[in-house]
Amino acid sequence: MAASDILRQLLADVRDGNISVDAAMRALDGGEYVDIGHAKVDTGRVVRTGAPEIIYGEGKHPEEVADIAKVMLSHGANVLVTRASAAVHEALLPVDHRAVFNARARTVSIVQRPVPAPPTYIAIVTGGTSDLPVAEEARETACFLGNTVKMVPDAGVAGIHRLLGAVDTIRGARVVIAVAGMEGALASVVGGLVDKPVIAVPTSVGYGASFGGLAALLAMLNSCAAGVGVVNIDNGFGAGYLASMINRLGLY
Amino acid sequence: MAASDILRQLLADVRDGNISVDAAMRALDGGEYVDIGHAKVDTGRVVRTGAPEIIYGEGKHPEEVADIAKVMLSHGANVLVTRASAAVHEALLPVDHRAVFNARARTVSIVQRPVPAPPTYIAIVTGGTSDLPVAEEARETACFLGNTVKMVPDAGVAGIHRLLGAVDTIRGARVVIAVAGMEGALASVVGGLVDKPVIAVPTSVGYGASFGGLAALLAMLNSCAAGVGVVNIDNGFGAGYLASMINRLGLY
Amino acid sequence: MAASDILRQLLADVRDGNISVDAAMRALDGGEYVDIGHAKVDTGRVVRTGAPEIIYGEGKHPEEVADIAKVMLSHGANVLVTRASAAVHEALLPVDHRAVFNARARTVSIVQRPVPAPPTYIAIVTGGTSDLPVAEEARETACFLGNTVKMVPDAGVAGIHRLLGAVDTIRGARVVIAVAGMEGALASVVGGLVDKPVIAVPTSVGYGASFGGLAALLAMLNSCAAGVGVVNIDNGFGAGYLASMINRLGLY
Amino acid sequence: MAASDILRQLLADVRDGNISVDAAMRALDGGEYVDIGHAKVDTGRVVRTGAPEIIYGEGKHPEEVADIAKVMLSHGANVLVTRASAAVHEALLPVDHRAVFNARARTVSIVQRPVPAPPTYIAIVTGGTSDLPVAEEARETACFLGNTVKMVPDAGVAGIHRLLGAVDTIRGARVVIAVAGMEGALASVVGGLVDKPVIAVPTSVGYGASFGGLAALLAMLNSCAAGVGVVNIDNGFGAGYLASMINRLGLY
Amino acid sequence: MAASDILRQLLADVRDGNISVDAAMRALDGGEYVDIGHAKVDTGRVVRTGAPEIIYGEGKHPEEVADIAKVMLSHGANVLVTRASAAVHEALLPVDHRAVFNARARTVSIVQRPVPAPPTYIAIVTGGTSDLPVAEEARETACFLGNTVKMVPDAGVAGIHRLLGAVDTIRGARVVIAVAGMEGALASVVGGLVDKPVIAVPTSVGYGASFGGLAALLAMLNSCAAGVGVVNIDNGFGAGYLASMINRLGLY
Amino acid sequence: MAASDILRQLLADVRDGNISVDAAMRALDGGEYVDIGHAKVDTGRVVRTGAPEIIYGEGKHPEEVADIAKVMLSHGANVLVTRASAAVHEALLPVDHRAVFNARARTVSIVQRPVPAPPTYIAIVTGGTSDLPVAEEARETACFLGNTVKMVPDAGVAGIHRLLGAVDTIRGARVVIAVAGMEGALASVVGGLVDKPVIAVPTSVGYGASFGGLAALLAMLNSCAAGVGVVNIDNGFGAGYLASMINRLGLY
Amino acid sequence: MAASDILRQLLADVRDGNISVDAAMRALDGGEYVDIGHAKVDTGRVVRTGAPEIIYGEGKHPEEVADIAKVMLSHGANVLVTRASAAVHEALLPVDHRAVFNARARTVSIVQRPVPAPPTYIAIVTGGTSDLPVAEEARETACFLGNTVKMVPDAGVAGIHRLLGAVDTIRGARVVIAVAGMEGALASVVGGLVDKPVIAVPTSVGYGASFGGLAALLAMLNSCAAGVGVVNIDNGFGAGYLASMINRLGLY
Amino acid sequence: MAASDILRQLLADVRDGNISVDAAMRALDGGEYVDIGHAKVDTGRVVRTGAPEIIYGEGKHPEEVADIAKVMLSHGANVLVTRASAAVHEALLPVDHRAVFNARARTVSIVQRPVPAPPTYIAIVTGGTSDLPVAEEARETACFLGNTVKMVPDAGVAGIHRLLGAVDTIRGARVVIAVAGMEGALASVVGGLVDKPVIAVPTSVGYGASFGGLAALLAMLNSCAAGVGVVNIDNGFGAGYLASMINRLGLY
């Protein structure tokens, strides 16, 4: 059932007296949430956007993360925490012993209902080994959301043959994620090689005039290859999420 | 036939003596081009990326554009010129009388082989009327590449009901383009409303601390909604191109 | 009647069958608008925010402005156009002969229902004569919205006695607008002198390292005096609008 | 008694021989202060601006804070320290046992004369849970200055229904503070929903291209909604102070 | 004779009474100049740095350029003017009828003593046709200083095969100049392909977040390929000059 | 009579009944001004700061400049207008036929009382001929304020011998102004050569990564030589004014 | 003996055979130095610029500082180390027991020959108590170089009467140093109050959009008051040095 | 054998059946690599670019570095690790006991086949002692690649005679590296003194408005001296690598 149908149903329910005006005002747009004091947990999100809950762990106390996870799990959702420390993992294990920690990606995931993946896959290309943590976050996110992922690590443009050697894997994907720091040229070269959407992730790998990833970000935004969309610096999660949306198009 | 197959074929042709090593070296990766002095026209591009030729008109003399268009047309490609002036249109009319000028979008298109569109559509949402030229460039590009487009103009977040009023059109699309200047909040609000890929286009509309679109660009990159990919400031073409790629996935 | 009451009424109307679900979906949040093709004119705005319509003229064709103005006038609203050229004035005179052009402020106003002003007033202090266009835009906006304004021009901090000489006028106001370019120190000094809200407007007056008003903007954001809120560079309109909101508090 | 009256009185006192020229020169503008070596404590501030003393704790030694507090308390003022550590609290407890520490807001307050609040209230809306420390600083400041505050936490625009669900609380306020990091879109959406002054506080919550809050700051300055004034990044104090000024207008 | 020998000779001449102390003080470092009021023409430059005079034309009146050229020509030097308009050409023709204007490169050259070129050559690779003016300035400069140049135009990384097709020309050079705007990835890819010094020239070609060439500049400075030196944005002259120095090493 | 004496006298006059409290409030700090509507002309400035009036011409109508000049001249002051066009000169000639226009410096001066210069002088060193307009503005300002100036044009650091050749002139000055664009190295080299205060003026001469003078500005602020103070980009006036203050120390 | 005389003498010595060409080449410009491996200690500096040696301690090992100090002391110079830690003090005490550490200013000084001060003095005004470390560095530097200094701490513009109360001290100085962070308005207000050179020192005091002192820096560079020269952020040393040069003018 | 010959050979081998198409696709461009999971070690690099392997140590675990080194050593290459910690040295010693750690340069090198140096040399000039770590990295890199290096430390432009005293060493080099922080003027002065290529390395030495080396970087890019190429901030490695390429030209 599409989200707009939900909204229409809500108004029909008001018309028909099935729900009160007060409830409708609280739940406008089909969105329901559970208020746990420090956060409004968006339990209507699965209905509204089709996605399980993903928690941004940075700046949250491990117990706060656990509180949110508990509510989500009790509503039947899988849970992924990004920017998670080992302490978050420890706080989540008592909540659900299936909690898995990926230290490089800095993610904790709890999967109670595995999501089936479509036959197509997502390729993740990285410029250098230092870009791997961001690529891993993208991979974890995409897998969590129900996708097959193939990695093409360490394929920076300074050794273009490494990239060309993996061209079949890259071209076989339905959508490609290009992860690179420094000058971020990878996005342009990949974009020129494939006829598929490319999601570019600048990373903060570099020093000096990389200005924390700004150089790669600007380069990717100015890519001379068409078909490239850019996400925030080091935002592996965002790239994995968007790639999943594209890879799963037609499945919903 | 996929592009990697072409490469493999090329090497097989070399092995089998069908083409010379010199020719293979010139055409490595299946890419062929015609050298017309001031430019290398990429006639292999349709094969390689599945896309007809699109010419960036800025900084090119109208006659240079015409020269490139002639080569492309003679290879059977449709032609789209972006950032085109009326002078470019005048230079292209003698080349092909079907040349059409869209003054607001600043595009000239010549379609000799219409591209059939898939049943799904692209929605383009704009923040204000000043964002329309960029939105038009996106629309022209997407239509040229074979897509149905629905426009949702003037739906800025300061009057959120205008956006909510168009929510069915937005949610019905396979991919959404959000075009906005000033604070660029549109991308986040749209991203929160739909479960589809959102391509965000910051525009240079605004003044003062918008710094030529930087404010909207940063806002879109930092969108608190997941599923948003960003293209360059005022890059309607890039958004239309990427949206087409996504909308046509499965058709190739 | 407050805006939230309108929303509640809307839902009640749906419940009671007074309006259809379709109409409610189009008018969610009490917001109604007239679609004139290139723009959605927000005729529900007076109800929703208590403010008459104000049109941002930059980048709009004079006829487009006139089209919007016609719709608004026919709904009983007064009209103010900011960033307006003389051409806009000429396009509006046939629509309503009461259209008045302020060349320095770059505004055109059409008042069919004068708005009564409260007994309190707004003071507008400017650093130098070059800041006057921005100050004038603030004054025009505030007057249009129903306020008395007192101007304190050319009171920059390099001659602190000029500012001190006007201290009674400044302190007598209910809210003060400080307009300054260059180093923008005026906001801090004014903020230290009064116990009233200060709205700081950085202007692009200056050269070199003023970077188009950035220096004044940063200075005002970092004001060592408390009670200062900042608007965009050269945004006289925004300052006048916010000052009006504050000056008229208690009147709604 | 207004501040300008004090100045006039000062000059009259000089004329009448009530105070010496030397004293007048030291106290020009009615401002008196106590010099304690490392700081000039502004004991005349209550008279001059109507506000009790607020101490910015960053970079001051706890004992310096205590010295300043002692002088203020002995002049009858309440004391609020912002950006305060637990060490500051410990240094202040011997000075006055009523000292209260709010660890999240990083404030210490000592109230010897409670300030009565007007019947209207201030609403503080925050985008996410990570923005709470800044929102808390705003709340502590506003309460300290004599205001009722209602919090609307975790109402970011990516889940617009959460914000719409709280629309009555927001619209019922006399002035609204919108606290958000990342893309800072909250200010625009809130500004479009209410007809009251909105004070926008960008926070440094985010990463990568948020550049320490710059993205949110620029977005808020470029808000397409009118009636928005912006304070410095993470400046919860400044927002609370300005909101108090506006909420208490008419009470002085 | 090396420049340091000249200095040593100067001091020896002072010792031996061949020149006066005053003359030595005016000519310290072997540098002599002719003062023509608005400029000190550096007639000692050929001796000191081995290079003929090159005049930066921007912001100079055509007559001023002519004045400087006259002095240089009378000292036997060839003259190259960069950033020259047609008006400069017209002012120089009466001075020397051999003056040649390259409108695309914006150079005027007067060669009275052709400089013999070494057998090696400089390759200039450009990303797109819009980068040609900068590449032409580099070519004019290098040729003027006595070098053979081979151009590889329109070899941007989005069509990597065009670049690979020219790989022999690029690798055959003694030094390579890579000229590119937008994302500037060309420098990295070229740097990865060759074992020769690469001089990267970012151009201001692009729009939006290219920020006048900043994106390409940062990308080139952060090149993941080693062996890349960067010059200023659009500085074709500087690249040609440095390439000439490298190409001619061993000839002095 | 020092300015503080004036203030003390003012208060004494109030005490003694010589002037009214109202007058004292208008003239606080000895500052008197004439209000001519669009500007408050600071007629008390000569008394207060010892300097004749200098009018910043940018953004002022020629007639406004003339109005201000008239008031100043009638109070006996000399007048200097900076950033003046020929139109300003034409508007001032009827006011006073002694008005002199310096087109390169963009100044108009009217001297009715020549100011005697001290025996010491100011040296102004410039990097290149393109920096001359800024240097000329500094020279005009310094001469207007009563100083002898010696120019050392075209002494950029790329030909260090030109600078060394003028070292006596530079070291003989009481204060040195260094004017340079591009990389702004002149300030450091000059600062290392002399034991006198150096005022550094970055200019906007340059292109690309000079970012309108930012490169020179940052270089000068980071000078490794001590004794360097920096003024705004292209601010020849400010440098001349500050140099005059230093050169005339001991004369007041 | 002036430095240029030394140069002339050097050349005369070469002429007369008093020193060899080699020695002259090493000592060109009268500058002598002692090479201690990791540094070239500038023992000719006193002669050349009239100033004792000042060592920038940041990034130097305490023993390296001690090595440099030893050489300087043995040449009769006083020594001042800025940005010095307690460890530097400990390393210098064995070298000379007179070494004094100022922890707030982060300086260590060793005075073997006190420098007599002129009768005039330098005033140092600071915005807030957090600016004191920078002001102290300025004070230490100025005193070390032989100057009397008067401090006016905590005189920020938000309480303008504190500044006005100290106006006699400020106006009595021969040169004024204004030290302020946040919005840096102090420089403009001080510059408007006095007829003496003002050296503005922006500090990194502040947060958020102060961007490490950038806001104050830009404000000071754009000061609407004339007669203000700016040094680097937090550069108390540079301000003290320049102020000393100005205060001691006429004494050399 | 030149790299392009390798490519041609590869294609010929395919034609002649010597290698399979699959192998050619993996090894396109003569580039071979060993995939060790976390990295693709570029064993074809010596053939392709003539350079031994250099490993960027930042962000890599010591064991990862050791893994890469092992593969390289077994292919006969020398190994240099930059940005290496002592822990990296410890991890490499068991791999090869010849591993040498340079703590200041932060490099570890393992040389199994010394590379003979040409008779020419590279000069490295540094502004101050704080720039030495970057200069050392350049020196280590250049020596590792087979070059003689002469150091000219502590020759900043504030004491120009120190630089002039070393002018013979500088002018005798085939290529010069100029390493400087703060205002970066050294590159311009050196560039003006020599007729050889200058590689400029901005360092992050400085504070305040040096913005981590940005000031020096911009200065060097805007050098008024021709013949200067710039590398990234603190990129001693890049400078040493490029200098080696230039110094060894003609040897390959």
Read off the pLDDT of residues G63-73 as tens digits, 9 standing for 90 and up: 999 999 998 88
Q: Which of D110, D145, D176 is the last residue of a domain?
A: D110
Q: Is the pLDDT of residue A29 over 50?
A: no
Judgement on whether residues A105 and A58 belong to the same structural domain of the protein: yes
Residue G38 is predicted with a pLDDT of 66
pLDDT band of E4, cuts 50, 70, 90: very low
Which H or E element spans position D176? Answer: strand D175-180
Q: Chain A partners of B231 at a C-beta cutoff of 8 Å?
A: 221, 228-230
Bridge partner list, C228: C198
- What the block records as the tokens of B211 is 């710094």
pLDDT band of F60, cuts 50, 70, 90: confident
Residue C195 is predicted with a pLDDT of 87
Residue C108 is predicted with a pLDDT of 97
Provide CB contacts within 8 A for E218, sequence distance 6+.
A183, A209, A210, A211, A214, A215, A218, A219, E184
Q: Give percent above pLDDT 70 in chain D.
A: 81
Residue ranges making up the domain that contains F50: 3-110
Taking an 8 Å cut-off on Cβ atoms, the answer to whether B24 and H7 are in contact is: no
Q: Is the pLDDT of residue F137 over 80?
A: yes
The DSSP symbol for C58 reads: T
Residue E141 is predicted with a pLDDT of 97
- Amino acid identity at A34: V
Q: What is the pLDDT of residues D123-172, one digit of tens each?
A: 999 998 889 999 999 999 999 999 999 999 888 887 777 787 788 899 99
Burial per residue of E131-162, b for 16 or more beta-carbon CB atoms within 10 angstroms, e otherwise = bbbbbbbbbbbbbbbbbebbbbbbbbbbbbbb
Whose tokens are 């059939």? That residue is B116
Identify which of A132, A162, A209 has the shortest CB distance to residue H40.
A162
Taking an 8 Å cut-off on Cβ atoms, the answer to whether C3 and D196 are in contact is: no
pLDDT band of H53, cuts 50, 70, 90: confident
**What are the start-end ranges of the H helices in chain A?**
3-15, 21-27, 45-49, 62-74, 86-92, 132-144, 160-165, 167-172, 186-193, 214-221, 236-247
Per the model's pLDDT, the better-predicted residue between A14 and C83 turns out to be C83
- A29 close to D160: Cβ distance less than 8 angstroms: yes
Judgement on whether residues G64 and G165 belong to the same structural domain of the protein: no
Q: What is the pLDDT of residues H113-169, one digit of tens each?
A: 888 999 999 999 999 888 999 999 999 999 999 999 999 988 888 777 778 778 889
Judgement on whether residues G96 and G142 belong to the same structural domain of the protein: no
Q: Chain F partners of D28 at a C-beta cutoff of 8 Å?
A: 28
Identify which of G197, G230, G238 has the shortest CB distance to residue F226.
G238
Lowest-confidence pick of B114-123, E37-46, F58-67, G108-117: E37-46
Judgement on whether residues E141 and E104 belong to the same structural domain of the protein: no
Please give the ipTM for the structure prediction: 0.84
Taking an 8 Å cut-off on Cβ atoms, the answer to whether G132 and D38 are in contact is: yes
Please state, in angstroms and rounded to a whole number, the distance separating the CA atoms of residues E223 and E176: 15
Residue B3 is predicted with a pLDDT of 36
Judgement on whether residues G133 and G231 belong to the same structural domain of the protein: yes
The answer to whether residue H115 sits within a structural domain is no
Lowest-confidence pick of B99-103, B164-168, G42-46: G42-46
Q: Chain H partners of E233 at a C-beta cutoff of 8 Å?
A: 221
The answer to whether residue E115 sits within a structural domain is no
Q: Give percent above pLDDT 70 in chain E.
A: 81
Per the model's pLDDT, the better-predicted residue between F139 and F155 turns out to be F139
Identify which of B31, B60, B233 has the shortest CB distance to residue E159.
B31
Average pLDDT over residues F58-76: 89
Taking an 8 Å cut-off on Cβ atoms, the answer to whether D14 and F15 are in contact is: yes
Nearest CA in chain A to C4: A25
Residue A62 is predicted with a pLDDT of 94
Lowest-confidence pick of B28-37, C141-150, D132-141, D176-185: B28-37
Identify which of B25, B60, B234 has the shortest CB distance to residue E208.
B234
Judgement on whether residues E243 and E130 belong to the same structural domain of the protein: yes
Nearest CA in chain F to G46: F195
Judgement on whether residues C129 and C68 belong to the same structural domain of the protein: no
Number of domains in chain C: 2
pLDDT band of G86, cuts 50, 70, 90: very high
pLDDT band of B107, cuts 50, 70, 90: very high
Average pLDDT over residues E210-238: 95
Q: Is the pLDDT of residue F200 over 50?
A: yes
Provide CB contacts within 8 A for H249, sequence distance 6+.
E174, E175, E196, E197, E246, E249, E250
Lowest-confidence pick of B60-64, C14-18, C229-233, H100-104: C14-18
The answer to whether residue H52 sits within a structural domain is yes
pLDDT band of A11, cuts 50, 70, 90: low
Taking an 8 Å cut-off on Cβ atoms, the answer to whether D227 and C221 are in contact is: no
Judgement on whether residues A135 and A233 belong to the same structural domain of the protein: yes
- F122 close to F150: Cβ distance less than 8 angstroms: yes
Per the model's pLDDT, the better-predicted residue between E130 and H16 turns out to be E130
3-state secondary structure of D97: coil
Bridge partner list, F178: F125, F200
Is C145 exposed, middle or buried, given 0-12, 13-18 or 19+ CB atoms closer than 10 A? Answer: buried
Please state, in angstroms and rounded to a whole number, the distance separating the CA atoms of residues H136 and H133: 5
Q: Is the pLDDT of residue E47 over 70?
A: no
Q: Is the pLDDT of residue A174 over 90?
A: yes
Short-list G209, G208, B208, D234, CA closest to C232 = B208
Q: Chain D partners of C237 at a C-beta cutoff of 8 Å?
A: 226
Which H or E element spans position C201? Answer: strand C198-202
Question: Phi first, then psi: what are they for G7, rounded to 5°?
Answer: -60, -45
pLDDT band of A228, cuts 50, 70, 90: very high
Q: Is the pLDDT of residue F202 over 90?
A: yes
The answer to whether residue F80 sits within a structural domain is yes
Average pLDDT over residues E241-246: 96
- Amino acid identity at E166: A
pLDDT band of D23, cuts 50, 70, 90: low
3-class secondary structure for chain E? CCHHHHHHHHHHHHHCCCCCHHHHHHCHHHCCCEECCCCEECCCHHHHHCCCEEEECCCCCHHHHHHHHHHHHHCCCCEEEECCCHHHHHHHCCCCCCCEEECCCCEEEECCCCCCCCCCEEEEEECCHHHHHHHHHHHHHHHHCCCEEEEECCCCHHHHHHHHHCHHHHHHCCEEEEEECCCCCHHHHHHHHCCCCEEEEECCCCCHHHHHHHHHHHHHHCCCCCCEEECCCCCHHHHHHHHHHHHCCCCC
Query: What does the pLDDT profile of chain C (252 residues) look like in tens digits?
Result: 333 344 455 566 667 766 666 555 544 444 456 777 666 676 665 544 555 678 989 888 899 999 999 988 888 889 999 999 999 999 999 999 999 999 999 999 999 888 899 999 999 999 988 899 999 999 999 999 999 999 998 888 877 777 877 888 999 999 999 999 999 999 999 998 888 999 999 999 999 999 999 999 999 999 988 899 999 999 999 999 999 999 999 754
- A159 close to A129: Cβ distance less than 8 angstroms: no
Average pLDDT over residues D60-78: 89
Most confident by average pLDDT, A66-80, D26-40, D172-186: D172-186
The answer to whether residue A252 sits within a structural domain is no
Identify which of G54, G197, G238 has the shortest CB distance to residue F246.
G197
Residue B250 is predicted with a pLDDT of 77
Q: Which of B50, B79, B110 is the last residue of a domain?
A: B110
Whether chain A lies against chain G with 3 or more Cβ pairs closer than 8 A is no
Is H59 exposed, middle or buried, given 0-12, 13-18 or 19+ CB atoms closer than 10 A? Answer: middle
Q: Give percent above pLDDT 90 in chain F.
A: 59
Judgement on whether residues G104 and G46 belong to the same structural domain of the protein: yes
pLDDT band of D215, cuts 50, 70, 90: very high
The answer to whether residue D252 sits within a structural domain is no
Provide CB contacts within 8 A for E128, sequence distance 6+.
A224, B56, E154, E156, E180, E181, E182, E205
Identify which of B12, B17, B24 has the shortest CB distance to residue H11.
B24
Residue E244 is predicted with a pLDDT of 96
Average pLDDT over residues A162-166: 80
- Amino acid identity at G182: M
Q: Which of H87, H110, H133 is the last residue of a domain?
A: H110
Residues of H with CB under 8 A from a CB of F: 127-128, 156-160, 182-185, 187-189, 191-193, 206, 208-211, 214-216, 218-226
Identify which of E174, E194, E252 has the shortest CB distance to residue H249.
E174
Residue H12 is predicted with a pLDDT of 66
Residue A150 is predicted with a pLDDT of 97
- What the block records as the tokens of G98 is 């007179």
Taking an 8 Å cut-off on Cβ atoms, the answer to whether F225 and H189 are in contact is: no
Residue E30 is predicted with a pLDDT of 40
Residue F164 is predicted with a pLDDT of 78
The answer to whether residue D115 sits within a structural domain is no
Q: Chain B partners of D184 at a C-beta cutoff of 8 Å?
A: 183, 185, 219, 222
Number of other CB atoms surrounding residue H103 within 10 Å: 12
3-state secondary structure of G163: helix
The answer to whether residue B115 sits within a structural domain is no
CA E174 to chain centre: 16
Q: What is the pLDDT of residues D25-62, one digit of tens each?
A: 544 444 456 777 666 676 665 544 545 678 989 888 99
Q: Chain B partners of A227 at a C-beta cutoff of 8 Å?
A: 49, 238, 241-242, 245
Q: Is the pLDDT of residue A207 over 70?
A: yes
Please state, in angstroms and rounded to a whole number, the distance separating the CA atoms of residues A141 and A53: 11
Judgement on whether residues C68 and C128 belong to the same structural domain of the protein: no
pLDDT band of A6, cuts 50, 70, 90: very low
Whose tokens are 């952060």? That residue is E222
* Mean pLDDT computed over every residue of chain H: 85
Judgement on whether residues C154 and C206 belong to the same structural domain of the protein: yes
Residue F51 is predicted with a pLDDT of 58
Bridge partner list, H159: none
- C185 close to G189: Cβ distance less than 8 angstroms: yes
Residue F100 is predicted with a pLDDT of 97
Helical pair G236-247 and G132-144, crossing angle rounded to 10 deg: 40
Q: Give percent above pLDDT 70 in chain B.
A: 81
Taking an 8 Å cut-off on Cβ atoms, the answer to whether A222 and E215 are in contact is: yes
Q: Chain C partners of F40 at a C-beta cutoff of 8 Å?
A: 153-155, 159, 162
Whether chain F lies against chain B with 3 or more Cβ pairs closer than 8 A is no
- Amino acid identity at D182: M
- F218 close to G215: Cβ distance less than 8 angstroms: no
Q: Chain B partners of C25 at a C-beta cutoff of 8 Å?
A: 164-165, 167-168
CATH code of B239's domain: 3.40.50.1970
Q: Is the pLDDT of residue G187 over 90?
A: yes
**All partners of chain E with 3 or more CB pairs under 8 angstroms:** A, B, F, G, H
Judgement on whether residues H233 and H180 belong to the same structural domain of the protein: yes
